[in-house]
């Protein structure tokens, strides 16, 4: 018989991994709740008509498609079949696909439920998504996304609160982070004043290299991308932008003075940064013009979070987008959101070993099983300790002591209760601390105190 396996790019999560992941999800969830976000869930399967065309051609190819039940050949001519056109026939064979992200299903949800929803709608969603991507280190075909979005409000207070939430989550997790913010409108303004709108990505890439390659080489790279000398000259204050966020904003106000959209971006960033400065958040917030994520998607503020103590890509990101639901026929709904990268945060916490002991501990107390009579004595005690909220179990079989203790060790159980003839006669249990080796004869009240303290 073949050894069973799982599809490539997917994972089993064993108890310790689950406990760690739950610690992360619960921390994020608590913060979402404290900020008034409510959870929704959408089905794993969406109609392909909902998913197709939303992620570009490349995205369409990465959708997992689900074969129709029953006779999926009906209505197909011999010619169509023999064409062997995999893409075209897939659309005949399949009507449903697995969700690719949480954003499109959310947009679909908002449109379908618009009449029940009270706007602004603050929702969060923690669910897996699936992508038929080539699996590689740190990239999976099934992974969780953790998204919080506010839709139906243009207020920049939403951006401020999302940044506070990022700070709160990573403060609780004990991860030192830097929050980078930028604004799509500032980038548009830069493109506008130098008259090279379509070169904005080349420009941000080049600016990003300043530290590494120096000003001269940055300018050479810009020239090699076909940017005019005049435009490069105009870009100098932006390439050399430095100092505090306030200083940067002041420079930008001079450079972008003639661009309406650019000045709007500066104003928005100023609002967000000034409000955040009132709230003494722990993380560093930095205006970073090289941040250019999802340019085709975001329309206002954009942000990204970097861990300071681990070399890894951004662990959280987001921004403001207009017209989330336009593609489903509901116009004029602006939104802003963040997405926590659960898998990367998991890697960061593992590397820094930041899990609190109580978050990953399972069973606290195990009763050794010496036989039916002894087990009968232990069962009511188990009921009592569980009523005291202690996670407890009895080894189910009267196996050899060594085996039972090995099980307790494997499960990292801190306390073991040993009950034999003597203990039963005295109405007590022998409690062993597995870390110190210490043993003491205790009654049920002392037992509960010892384990919960």
- The residue among 229 and 373 lying less far from a second copy, judged by its C-beta, is 373
* Residue 407 in marked binding region: no
Half-sphere exposure of 57 (CA within 13 A, CB side): 1
Enter the tokens of residue 178.
């830097």
* Residue 131 in marked binding region: yes
Question: H or E segment at 365?
Answer: strand 365-367
Beta-bridge mates of residue 136: 139
| Residue list 160-199, contact with a second copy (CB under 8 A) | 160-161, 164, 168
- Residue among 407, 420, 444, 446 that touches a second copy (CB under 8 A): 407
Regarding 101 and contact with a second copy (CB under 8 A), the answer is: no
* Residue 176 in marked binding region: no
* Residue 35 in marked binding region: no
- The residue among 153 and 250 lying less far from a second copy, judged by its C-beta, is 153
Scored b (16 or more CB within 10 A) or e, 254-277 reads ebbeebebbbbbbbbbbbbbebbe
Residue count, binding to a second copy (CB under 8 A): 109
* Residue 251 in marked binding region: no
The separation between the first and the last C-alpha atoms of the chain, rounded to the nearest angstrom, is 50
Regarding 72 and contact with a second copy (CB under 8 A), the answer is: yes
| Residue list 81-100, contact with a second copy (CB under 8 A) | 81-82, 84, 86, 89-90, 93-96, 98
Enter the tokens of residue 313.
């890509």
- The nearest distance, CB 152 to a second copy, in angstroms, is 9
Residue 58, φ and ψ in degrees, nearest 5: -60, -45
**H helices present in 396-443, as ranges:** 401-410, 421-426
- The residue among 234 and 391 lying less far from a second copy, judged by its C-beta, is 391
DSSP 310: S
Packing angle, helices 200-207 and 210-224, rounded to 10: 150
Enter the tokens of residue 154.
């243009």
For the purposes of burial, counting CB atoms within 10 Å of the CB of 385, is it exposed (0-12), middle (13-18) or buried (19 or more)? buried
- The residue among 109 and 303 lying less far from a second copy, judged by its C-beta, is 109
Reduced to 3 states (helix: H, G, I; strand: E, B; else coil), residue 394 is strand
Pairing of strands 335-340, 301-307: unpaired
- The nearest distance, CB 224 to a second copy, in angstroms, is 37
- Return d(Cα 169, Cα 172) in angstroms, integer: 5
- The nearest distance, CB 392 to a second copy, in angstroms, is 7
| Residue list 234-263, contact with a second copy (CB under 8 A) | none
| Residue list 261-290, contact with a second copy (CB under 8 A) | 275, 278-279
Residue 116, φ and ψ in degrees, nearest 5: -90, -15
Question: Sheet containing 439-442: which strands, arranged edge to edge?
Answer: 392-394, 365-367, 415-418, 429-433, 439-442
* Residue 27 in marked binding region: no
Binding mask 300-329 for a second copy (x = CB under 8 A): ----------------------------xx
Stretch that binds a second copy, among 74-82, 209-217, 303-311, 344-352 (CB under 8 A): 74-82
- The nearest distance, CB 451 to a second copy, in angstroms, is 13
Q: Are 51 and 63 in contact (CB under 8 A)?
A: yes
Residue with tokens 């929702």: 123
Regarding 55 and contact with a second copy (CB under 8 A), the answer is: no
Regarding 444 and contact with a second copy (CB under 8 A), the answer is: no
Regarding 65 and contact with a second copy (CB under 8 A), the answer is: yes
Regarding 396 and contact with a second copy (CB under 8 A), the answer is: yes
- The residue among 323 and 363 lying less far from a second copy, judged by its C-beta, is 363
Enter the tokens of residue 212.
């590494």
* Residue 236 in marked binding region: no
| Residue list 326-355, contact with a second copy (CB under 8 A) | 328-329
- The residue among 207 and 381 lying less far from a second copy, judged by its C-beta, is 381
- Return d(Cα 255, Cα 338) in angstroms, integer: 30
| Residue list 18-47, contact with a second copy (CB under 8 A) | 18-19, 22, 33-36, 38-47
- The residue among 3 and 212 lying less far from a second copy, judged by its C-beta, is 3
Regarding 421 and contact with a second copy (CB under 8 A), the answer is: no
- Return d(Cα 53, Cα 396) in angstroms, integer: 55
- The nearest distance, CB 393 to a second copy, in angstroms, is 3
User: Which residue ranges make up the annotated binding site?
Assistant: 101-103, 131, 145, 149, 293, 297-298
User: Which residue ranges make up the annotated binding site for L-histidine?
Assistant: 101-103, 131, 145, 149, 293, 297-298
């Amino acid at each position: 018989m073949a050894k069973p396996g799982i599809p490539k790019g997917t994972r089993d999560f064993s108890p310790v991994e689950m406990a760690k992941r739950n610690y992360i999800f619960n921390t994020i969830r608590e913060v979402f709740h404290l900020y008034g976000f409510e959870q929704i869930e959408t089905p794993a399967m969406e109609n392909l008509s909902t998913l197709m065309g939303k992620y570009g051609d490349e995205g369409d190819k990465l959708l997992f498609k689900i074969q129709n039940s029953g006779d999926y050949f009906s209505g197909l001519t011999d010619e169509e079949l023999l064409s062997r056109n995999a893409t075209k026939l897939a659309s005949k064979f399949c009507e449903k696909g697995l969700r690719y992200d949480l954003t499109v299903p959310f947009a679909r949800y908002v449109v379908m439920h618009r009449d029940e929803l009270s706007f602004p709608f603050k929702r969060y969603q923690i669910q897996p998504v699936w992508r038929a991507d080539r699996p590689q280190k740190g990239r999976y075909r099934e992974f969780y996304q953790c998204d919080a979005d506010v839709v139906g409000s243009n207020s920049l207070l939403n951006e401020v609160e999302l940044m506070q939430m990022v700070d709160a989550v990573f403060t609780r997790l004990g991860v030192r982070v830097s929050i980078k913010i930028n604004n799509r409108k500032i980038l548009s303004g830069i493109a506008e004043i130098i008259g090279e709108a379509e070169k904005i990505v080349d420009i941000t890439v080049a600016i990003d290299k300043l530290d590494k390659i120096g000003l001269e080489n940055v300018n050479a790279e810009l020239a090699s991308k076909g940017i005019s000398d005049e435009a490069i000259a105009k870009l100098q204050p932006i390439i050399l932008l430095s100092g505090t966020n306030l200083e940067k904003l002041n420079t930008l106000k001079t450079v972008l003075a003639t661009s309406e959209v650019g000045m709007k971006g500066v104003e928005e960033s100023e609002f967000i940064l000034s409000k955040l400065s009132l709230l003494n958040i722990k993380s560093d917030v930095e205006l970073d013009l090289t941040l250019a994520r999802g340019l085709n998607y975001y329309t206002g503020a954009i942000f990204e979070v970097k861990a300071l103590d681990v070399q890894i890509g951004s662990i959280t990101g987001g921004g403001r987008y207009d017209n989330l639901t336009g593609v489903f026929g509901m116009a004029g709904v602006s939104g802003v959101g963040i997405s926590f990268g659960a898998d990367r945060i998991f890697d960061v916490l593992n590397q820094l070993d930041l899990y609190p002991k109580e978050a990953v501990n399972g069973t606290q107390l195990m009763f050794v099983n010496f036989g039916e009579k002894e087990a009968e004595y232990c069962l009511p005690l188990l009921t009592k300790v569980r009523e005291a909220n202690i996670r407890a179990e009895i080894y189910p079989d009267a196996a050899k002591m060594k085996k039972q203790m090995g099980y307790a060790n494997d499960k990292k159980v801190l306390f073991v209760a040993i009950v034999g003839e003597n203990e039963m006669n005295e109405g007590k249990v022998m409690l062993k601390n597995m870390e110190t080796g210490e043993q003491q004869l205790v009654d049920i009240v002392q037992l509960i105190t010892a384990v919960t303290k």
